[in-house]
Chains A and B, each alone.
Chain A
Amino acid sequence: NAGVTQTPKFQVLKTGQSMTLQCAQDMNHEYMSWYRQDPGMGLRLIHYSVGAGITDQGEVPNGYNVSRSTTEDFPLRLLSAAPSQTSVYFCASSYRDRANSGANVLTFGAGSRLTVL
């Protein structure tokens, strides 16, 4: 049971380049999400998905695209990287059980540090 796996762990991009941060979970979690962590600001929600084929925007979605073709995978795409997207990115997942409060705890991946020059 690997939990939530993010790749790559580190990446350096030039402004305008595109890339995809990969996220995979093997826990059959319906809910998956992407956060970014910036100094002094905690983590902020970028996009989330409540199931395969369903995605929605979070707090800071501009500049990022997501898709959810399978339950296991939730990639985050940067189409044209900007220096403002330099950050640490976390993928997180959980069961989606509105009636069972104990199920709604996010499991986080190890994070991906992205630098845009």
Chain B
Amino acid sequence: AQTVTQSQPEMSVQEAETVTLSCTYDTSENNYYLFWYKQPPSRQMILVIRQEAYKQQNATENRFSVNFQKAAKSFSLKISDSQLGDTAMYFCAFMKHPLDSNDYKLSFGAGTTVTVRA
């Protein structure tokens, strides 16, 4: 079984500043995907960024980037130039590669609440 740990329950950041969310995971798999999802107060789950384990290059999506350390089983998310609309809960999630699993199951961490201050 995979476990995902987010050790920071809450974080606060000033608008335009940078914040980094940590995520570690435990798995014996070699091929897998990692995700960061954003859940604003509307409750909608929104995909922020995705990383494939076999790709060494860190994924980036505009102001969002990850630091993927496969050997350390670490997958942190950096939000640059924070905006008020970034205020949300952020979830780290793990999925086995579909070639190795039929259930497409996402294993989620407990989440980190990010508050962006004006």
Q: Confirm or deny: A26 has a beta carbon within 8 angstroms of a beta carbon on chain B.
A: no
| Contact flag A58-B106 (CB < 8 Å), given A88-B43, A96-B98, A110-B43 | no
| Contact flag A106-B43 (CB < 8 Å), given A43-B91, A101-B52 | no
Of A16-24, A44-52, A72-80, the stretch lying at the interface with chain B is A44-52
A10 to chain B, nearest CB (A): 11
When the two chains form their complex, are residues A45 and B110 in contact, meaning their CB atoms are under 8 A apart?
Answer: no
Quick one: closest B residue to A42, CB to CB? B108
When the two chains form their complex, are residues B104 and A104 in contact, meaning their CB atoms are under 8 A apart?
Answer: yes
Whole-angstrom CA separation of A94 from B45 in the bound complex: 14
When the two chains form their complex, are residues B104 and A48 in contact, meaning their CB atoms are under 8 A apart?
Answer: yes
Q: Confirm or deny: A33 has a beta carbon within 8 angstroms of a beta carbon on chain B.
A: yes
A-side interface residues toward B, CB under 8 Å?
Answer: 31, 33, 35, 40-45, 48, 50, 56, 58-59, 88, 90, 92, 94, 96-99, 101, 104-106, 108, 110-111, 113
B-side interface residues toward A, CB under 8 Å?
Answer: 4, 33, 42-45, 47, 50, 52, 91, 93, 95, 97-99, 102-106, 108-111
7 A-B pairs with CB atoms under 8 Å apart are A40-B111, A42-B4, A42-B110, A48-B104, A101-B52, A101-B98, A111-B44
